[in-house]
Every structure is written in structure tokens, then in C-alpha cells.
A and B are shown apart, each in its own frame.
Chain A
Amino acid sequence: MNRKYYIYIFTCTFLVVFFSCKHNEGEYHNLNDKIKAVSKTYHGTLSSEVLIDGIKTLEITEGEHTFLIPERKSQIKSFACIECHNVGLDKLQSKDIKKAHWEITLAHADENTMNCATCHNGADMNSLNTLTGSKVDFNKSYKLCSQCHSSQFEDWKGGAHGKKVAGWAPPRASYTCVNCHNPHDPSFKSRWPSRYNTEQVEAPQAESGH
């Protein structure tokens, strides 16, 4: 009798303790654990393929990253370059004819570091050349940038630097260096913000006053 009583109490206590300890909040210690655990069974279905449908892309593999970048050559107005540059640069120089590319001024590093020939190949204008003189396709111009900007290149490969073409969903399509930076003048310029900042009621009135 007494023993049955004890067993009864023990069972009740066990059940109460067992169920009261169950709650969902404790399933993961923090968000990082949760992300790691849940993503083990990842099988995403959403695709951004329709979003990049009209955009010509090419797939590149750099290190362990494989992704799409926009095709460049079809976007350059005067490509192919050899339509004009059919002879070597030295033979094209002349005093009387109109200057081509007159609007380009180089504001990239200083004159001691870079000039046109750092990237362009005077003998073959249809492709670019690296510091050691090997050819680089215009579509893969990022290979030139990465010669100096190695940390930016690492970030870009991983996705911490630069922008996506359309959406977050796979397949990954990232803009390449020249889609945001003008290679002849790559820095972002200081300018006015595109609108007033938060809750600035007085500013528009002050502006209209003078």
C-alpha cells in the first residue's frame, strides 16, 4: 500500500517535470545555431532565373565560387575595337584627324602607377592585358582589377562587395567591377543626398525661401 503510494507520487512528479521542461524556445541556443541546424536540410525551390531572363550572362568560376556575371562586350558601344584600331596604335597617331576617346581622362591611381597601357594592349585593342602581358577578354575585365585590389576581389567573390543583378534567389548573378565603377575613374564621387533626411519639416520651406 505504502509502496504503491510512493510509486504514484514519483510517477506524477516525473510526468510534471518531464512535460514542464518542454518548450520550443530552448530548441536552439541562438539564431546562428538555428540557421546552421535548419540549413542542413536546405532544398530551396525559388529561382531568380526569370528575373535575369533578358540579360546576357556568362558563368565564371573563381576559387570555390561559381556564379554568373553580365556579358560586357555587347554592352560596349564601339566594340569590336579593331574596327578602327586595325593597325597598331603607333601607326594611328596623326595630327589632323579628330581625336577619338577625347572624353576619357584617367583618374585611377597616379601616373607613375598606371597609364592606358596598364590595361589596354596597343598591339591588340580587342583584348586587355595583365601586368605581365597576358591577354584578358573584355568580358572578364575583373581579372585586371584583382591584380591590385585583392581584398576587394576576395569580398566580391564571396558576395560581400558589389551588387546582385536581379534577386537574392539562386542562381547567383553578380555585377562585375565595371558595372558600378568606371575603370578610368573608379571612385564614388561626393554629391548631395537624393532627398532630405528623416522628418526634416523645416528644410523644404527654408529652401523655397531663397
Chain B
Amino acid sequence: MSEKKKWYSLDLGLNRKKSDTACGCGKTEGGCGSHKPEMTDDAFLEAAVNASIGEEVRKDGFEQVFDVKMDRRSAFKKLTASLLIGAGAVSTSCSVISGDDTKEKAQIDWEEQFKGNYKLMNDEEKKATVDRLMRSYELRTGKNISMTHENAEEDVLFGYAFNISKCQGYMDCVNACIEENNQDRNSQMQYIRIHEMKDGKGFNFNEADDNYYHEVPAEGHFYMGTQCFHCDNPPCVEVCPVQATWREDDGLVVIDYDWCVGCRYCMAACPYDGRRFNWSKPEVPENEINKNQHYLGNRMRKKGVMEKCTFCVQRSRKGQNPACVEACPTGARIFGNLLDPNSTIRWVLENKKVFRLKEDLGTEPKFWYFMD
């Protein structure tokens, strides 16, 4: 496995068996430092430098970012951050007094810091990072979570239909979404927005009430929900400078929260207000955390990254409906596989009068609205 690694891994002697055959840095002799069982701080620093600007041949993982022509000054500037983390890892891991747990934590932190983009990972690497994240959670909280990394199924293209004559504005979908997707409880972030609109005025988002709190359905109003529409031609993906968001083969537009730099270009590019930003560290009470997680879905996010509806990737890839579809008491939400000619979503598209928002933009959202 280490032969194919796209990034440098810190070997603290915990994975001795793996590192016997080849060194994580790719070199077979000299200059690396991780071949010697006893490592000095200097050797670790050198290893860190090698990892960041070393003459690695494979241009992948962090090298996409680091392997660019630049002068010495800026190179050292950019290195400072990673060196600090490296030094931190070294000081913890080489300390005589810190236990095995601390060392393992440091090792995990190192590997997580320098892992590649999820989009480029093979299944083995995906499993490794998911295992690391689960172990890390266990080390930190003493509790177990289950995180998966299912890939897109073949012959699946997810689509969604929303019946605007059925929605009554009960907001049960939003409740379910927040619980399912471990959304921050403080910032009141919601993937789904329910808009209360006046009858006879059409889709007038400027006059819609998005903050209603009164008995529903209100006289003379109708309700419609918006969320990420998982465009087939997503503009948010185009603008991402680090390719932290992309369209999966089953049509889901997903984010690698660990690769996102938080520039919010995607938020600006989305014509549907589908994306959300973590302005603060998302906090969920321990007993409310949904422990069935997916790397691209509802795993815990951090401050300063984008997130959005993933059609509950952790559920939908197992054949389940997203939490909002399951929670809706009126059956206004239809979800299914667009490629299955016998699916109910296909029947809706072929037999009801459906439309999408801002169709003229060519974004091809896979979220249709219809009426009874």
C-alpha cells in the first residue's frame, strides 16, 4: 500500500509492519530519515520538509498544491504551517512521558493533515481515511461512530420532485435534516428552506416569508421548499479553486470538508442559495450526534468549510430515502433513481406537469416541482 501512497505519512513505529518494505516518502535510501527506528527531531523536520517540497515524482495529493514553482521566500512561508504541525507531532510523539494514545493521535493528525483529495483517492485510501477518522473520534471522545465511504452505484442518477400543492409548511423535513446531518445547533443553519408564498403571486421569492412562525398552513398561502438541487451541470463545481467539490457519478454534488479552503466561491456561484458556510465551529450535543456517517455526508464538519444537502448520501447510497423525504407527513417529497424507467420519480416526470427553477441557466438541476 505504501508504494502507491500519494502523500507522506509519518511513521512513529506504530505501523512497523507496513513500513518494512518501503518508506512512506518513496525513497529507498538516505535523505528520508524515517528508515531509522530512532529518529531525532532534526530528522523529523527534514522529513517534513521533504514531504512538503521534496522531489517527489508522483504529482498528486498535497503535491497538487505544493509542487509549484516559487521562490525560496514564499516556499518557506507556505511551509511554516505544515512545519509547525510537524514539529507539534514530533514533540508529542517523541516525548517520553506521552502514552501510546497520544502518539497514535499525533500519527492520525499527521496523516489527516497531509492526506490527498478524496476525489482522487482509491478505495483503499478512502477506507484508510475513514478508519483514521473513526479511530480519532474514539480516541478523543471514547465513543464509536460508524463512517462509510460507499461509492456511487452503477446505473443510479438521483432525482427529486417536490409537490407544491401538498407541502403545508410543517417543517418536519427541516427538523429531520438537522438531526440526520449533524448540523450546528447554535447557528441555526438549515439546508432546507421553506418559503411561504402568497397565492396568486407565483414564485415571488422577494415577497416570500422565509421566517414564518405561526399556525400552518396559513390562509391564502402556499409553501415550497428549496435546498441543494444537485445540478447536473453545477456552477459551484466550476468555480472551486481547489476542486474540493465535485459531481459524483450518481449525480450527487459533494464536498470534501477536509479539502475545502472556505473561500465561498461556490456559495456565490450557486444560483439557488443551496450552500451553507460554517462561520463557527459546528456543535452538536454528544447524545444527539447521528453516528451513521458518510465521509461525504453528515460527518462532523469544522469551522470555515462549506456544507450543503447531499440528498443524505449516507442513506441514499444504501437504498434509503433522504431524511426529509421520510419525515414529510404529507408526501410532498418524491425521491428516486432517474435511470430506472419503473421508478416513481420517472412516472412523476413523465406524467405530471413539472418544472425547475431558473431552467434557462442551463444548470440542469435534478429537483423538479409539480402540482396535483
Q: Please, which residues of chain B bring their CB within 8 A of the CB of A4? A: none
Chain A CB within 10 A, most for which of B154, B168, B210, B343: B343
- Which residues in window 319-351 of B have CB below 8 A to A? 319-321, 325-326, 328-331, 334-349, 351
B189 CB to nearest A CB, Å: 8
B215 at the A interface (CB under 8 A):
yes
A157 CB to nearest B CB, Å: 9
A101 at the B interface (CB under 8 A):
no
Contact B341 A39, beta carbon cutoff 8 Å = yes
B119 at the A interface (CB under 8 A):
no
Q: Please, which residues of chain A bring their CB within 8 A of the CB of B207? A: none
A43 at the B interface (CB under 8 A):
yes
Q: Please, which residues of chain B bring their CB within 8 A of the CB of A43? A: 155
- How far is it, in angstroms, between the C-alpha of A32 and the C-alpha of B366 when the chains are bound? 10
Q: Please, which residues of chain B bring their CB within 8 A of the CB of A155? A: 352, 372
Contact A42 B341, beta carbon cutoff 8 Å = yes
Cβ-defined partner of A160 (8 Å) among B168, B175, B214, B351: B351
- Which residues in window 229-272 of B have CB below 8 A to A? 232
- How far is it, in angstroms, between the C-alpha of A192 and the C-alpha of B329 when the chains are bound? 14
Can you list, as one digit per residue, whether each of A158-173 has a CB less than 8 Å from chain B (1) or not (0)? 1111111011111010
Contact A197 B213, beta carbon cutoff 8 Å = yes
Contact B340 A44, beta carbon cutoff 8 Å = yes
Contact A188 B343, beta carbon cutoff 8 Å = no
B91 CB to nearest A CB, Å: 42
Contacts A39-B338, A158-B351, A197-B194: A168 and B321 contacting too (C-beta < 8 A)? Answer: yes
- How far is it, in angstroms, between the C-alpha of A191 and the C-alpha of B168 when the chains are bound? 9
Contact B232 A34, beta carbon cutoff 8 Å = yes
Contact B170 A51, beta carbon cutoff 8 Å = no
Cβ-defined partner of B215 (8 Å) among A35, A151, A180, A190: A190
A98 at the B interface (CB under 8 A):
no
Contact A35 B338, beta carbon cutoff 8 Å = yes
Q: Please, which residues of chain A bring their CB within 8 A of the CB of B346? A: 39
Contact A195 B366, beta carbon cutoff 8 Å = no
Considering the complex, give the chain B residue whose CB is closest to the CB of A193.
B171
Contacts A46-B156, A159-B348: A190 and B217 contacting too (C-beta < 8 A)? Answer: yes
B316 at the A interface (CB under 8 A):
yes
Tell me the B residues contacting A by CB distance below 8 Å. Answer: 153-157, 161, 163, 168-172, 174-175, 178, 188, 190, 193-194, 210-217, 232, 316, 318-321, 325-326, 328-331, 334-349, 351-352, 364, 366, 370, 372
